[in-house]
């Protein structure tokens, strides 16, 4: 079991491939079968040897008794005669027994192999030239011993030495051929390049536990790879940026059913799913479903992983049932929406501008780098994406930057102008049903305080000029309004003055990261507003 676990660990770590892992498993199986069969073979040989010794003892004692009692021979003469005869008979009987025992051992210990017996014996006898060299030396020494025939032993020794030399030359030639083939087939492998690859982590990667490998293995019916391709296409159409290729790798340090999303090597989200099971989101307790309780990874809702039978019961009861690949895909899509701004580097912005230049060359040439730098455009786009505003309308964005770049080169200020220019996009993003947007507003006194704080420079501070106890009261009031909007199935939206929007967003996003803070200028004139109330000025 320890060797099997070591093979699985090497396979999961990518140190060996499937073929080598299979070969190692076969080798371990043969070793286990060999030692088990060898135990039986040794008992067989031992029993035959014990029987031979008993027969020799019986012959020796019986011969002495016959010689002394029946034939009247003295003890010395009887011992000399019958001992010699017993030893001769023992040799005659033990040599065939030895051969039979060796043959039986060979047959028993090879029971688990699939190769031909003759071929296997030949491979074992002639596989290592060192054994033949040793045998040749022993036979040569025996040929030189007095009393033994010289020519037969010496001739066999020379023959063994010749065979060993031929085998050794053939092995050396085979190794040279293999080395040459490897050098020809892999001319571009450079260790320096492999090391450099570790210095540049993948922009986005998914790490999975070994239990989730079937989700990405097409041969096992996994469709997560095709889902990821679809997600990248739909995300590009939705947000206006192309997500870099997503790399998937297994990680033995994760739990079997765990997965992790990483951006440039830093984990941004993680979750757990169960292969061949189904997730029931927010299950109805009345149904009494049986399964494994977990938390839905995307929105943090209570969930239950159930089998096929419980799935049918959940669907009949009107519960939402999702397969494991769909859970990972949904989590991936939401993670990209939340963190896509981290993937937008200058190189990607330049690619976007080059593509736009094919149809709007005058606009691109006027803005970059004449009026603003590439870095400013990148910062504006990242500010928009950070608040989940699509950048599909790159023409409008550059037009707005061109119109207001003479007033300010600050990327944050230019972002506010761009947001106003994208009012139709922002309004469409916030609409729920029809043309209405559910919002919470600020009490005039609170808004006046924020405007004065911004003008005096206190808006740049973390607390916007409020005392700590007033901050807690303000957050409590915002939380109540967020709950009211959520009860109506609407995204939480704070509608404020353009002067304080940016500063208030930074103030509240630490506690309410998913809240939208928009200004009046970012909504179209025909937008219908439904207010859940106003946030009051906090009292300390």
User: How far apart (Å, rounded) are the C-alpha atoms in residues 528 and 540?
Assistant: 35
Residues in the chain: 540
| Cα–Cα dist 485/457, whole Å | 32
- Quick one: 318 exposed, middle or buried, by C-beta within 10 A (0-12, 13-18, 19+)? exposed
Give me the pLDDT at residue 42, please.
66
- Taking the C-alpha atoms of residue 372 and residue 397, their distance in angstroms, rounded to an integer, is 13
Under DSSP, the state recorded for 68 is: I
Residue tagged 């003892």 (tokens)? 57
Q: Which domains does the chain have, with CATH numbers?
A: 2-114 (no CATH), 204-341 (3.40.30.60), 344-421 (1.10.8.540), 427-535 (3.40.50.12790)
Alpha-carbon span 275 to 216, nearest angstrom: 11
Beta bridge partners of 496: 519
Task: Spell out the alpha helix ranges (H) of 358-459.
Answer: 361-367, 374-386, 394-404, 411-421, 423-430, 444-456
Q: Strand, coil or helix: what is 133? A: helix
30: enclosing H helix or E strand: helix 18-65
**CA gap 286, 283 in Å, rounded:** 9
Task: Output the 3-class SS for 299-345.
Answer: CCCEEEEECHHHHHHHHHCCCEEEEHHHHHHHHHHHHHHHHHHHHCC
CA distance 157 to 133: 9
State the Cα–Cα distance between residues 131 and 430, nearest whole angstrom: 83
**What is the pLDDT, as a whole number, of residue 26?**
75
CA separation (Å) from 363 to 39, 143, 353, 398, 411?
Answer: 86, 100, 10, 7, 18
Residues 6+ apart with CB under 8 A from 79: 64
Tell me which residue of 83, 55, 87 sits closest to 75, measured CA to CA.
83
Show the low-confidence residues of the chain (pLDDT under 70). Answer: 1-15, 30, 32-46, 48-49, 91, 93-94, 104-117, 174-198, 433, 458-462, 540
**What b/e readout covers 507-537, taking b as 16+ CB neighbours within 10 angstroms?**
bbeeebeebbbbbeebbeeebeeeebebbeb
Report the distance separating Cα 489 and Cα 456, nearest Å.
38
DSSP, res 466: -
Whole-angstrom distance, CA of residue 479 vs CA of residue 538: 13
pLDDT for residue 405? 95
Question: Do 451 and 458 touch, CB atoms closer than 8 A?
Answer: no
* Alpha carbon distance 383, 21 (integer Å): 49
What's residue 188's pLDDT? 47
If we measure between CA atoms, which residue out of 540, 481, 528, 539 comes closest to residue 508? 481
Decide: 516 and 440 in contact? Cβ < 8 Å.
no
């Amino acid at each position: 079991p320890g060797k099997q676990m070591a093979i699985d660990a090497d396979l999961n770590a990518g140190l060996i491939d499937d073929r080598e892992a299979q070969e190692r498993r076969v080798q371990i199986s043969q070793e286990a079968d060999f030692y088990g069969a060898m135990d039986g073979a040794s008992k067989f040989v031992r029993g035959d040897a014990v029987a031979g010794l008993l027969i020799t003892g019986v012959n020796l004692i019986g011969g002495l008794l016959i010689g002394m009692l029946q034939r009247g021979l003295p003890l010395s003469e009887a011992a000399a005669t019958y001992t010699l005869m017993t030893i001769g008979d023992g040799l005659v009987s033990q040599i065939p027994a030895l051969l039979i025992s060796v043959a039986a051992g060979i047959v028993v210990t090879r029971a688990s192999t699939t190769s031909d017996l003759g071929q296997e014996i030949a491979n074992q006898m002639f596989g290592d030239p060192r054994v033949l060299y040793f045998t040749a030396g022993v036979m040569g020494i025996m040929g030189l011993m007095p009393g033994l025939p010289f020519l037969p032993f010496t001739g066999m020794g020379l023959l063994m030495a010749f065979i060993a030399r031929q085998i050794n030359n053939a092995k050396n030639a085979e190794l040279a051929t293999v080395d040459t083939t490897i050098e020809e087939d892999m001319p571009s492998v450079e260790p320096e390049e492999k090391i450099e690859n570790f210095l540049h982590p993948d922009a986005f990667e998914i790490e999975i536990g070994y239990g989730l490998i079937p989700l990405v293995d097409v041969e096992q019916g996994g469709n997560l790879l095709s889902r990821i391709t679809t997600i990248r296409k739909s995300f590009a159409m939705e947000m206006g940026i192309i997500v870099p290729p997503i790399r998937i790798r297994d990680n033995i340090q994760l739990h079997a059913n765990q997965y992790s999303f990483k951006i440039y090597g830093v984990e941004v989200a993680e979750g757990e799913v169960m292969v061949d099971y189904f997730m029931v989101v927010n299950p109805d307790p009345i149904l009494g479903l049986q399964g494994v309780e977990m938390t839905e990874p995307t929105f943090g809702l209570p969930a239950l992983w159930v089998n096929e039978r419980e799935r049918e019961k959940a669907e009949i009861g009107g519960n939402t049932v999702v397969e494991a690949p769909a859970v990972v895909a949904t989590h991936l899509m939401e993670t990209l929406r939340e963190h896509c701004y981290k993937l937008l580097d200058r190189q990607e912005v330049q690619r976007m501008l080059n593509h736009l230049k094919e149809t709007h060359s005058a606009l691109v040439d006027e803005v970059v780098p004449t009026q603003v730098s590439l870095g400013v455009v990148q910062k504006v786009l990242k500010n928009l994406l950070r608040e989940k505003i699509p950048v599909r309308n790159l023409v409008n964005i550059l037009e707005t930057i061109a119109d207001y770049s003479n007033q300010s080169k600050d990327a944050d200020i230019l972002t506010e102008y761009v947001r106003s220019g994208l009012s139709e996009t922002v309004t469409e993003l916030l609409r729920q049903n029809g043309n209405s947007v559910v919002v919470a507003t600020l009490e005039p006194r609170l808004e006046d305080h924020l405007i004065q704080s911004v003008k005096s420079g206190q808006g740049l501070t973390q607390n916007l000029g409020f005392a700590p106890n007033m901050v807690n009261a303000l957050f409590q009031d915002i939380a109540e309004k967020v709950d009211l909007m959520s009860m109506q199935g609407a995204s939480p939206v704070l509608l404020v003055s353009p002067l304080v929007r940016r500063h208030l967003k930074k103030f509240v996003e630490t506690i309410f990261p998913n809240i939208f803070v928009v200004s009046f200028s970012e909504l179209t004139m025909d937008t219908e507003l439904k207010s859940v109330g106003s946030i009051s000025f906090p009292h300390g």
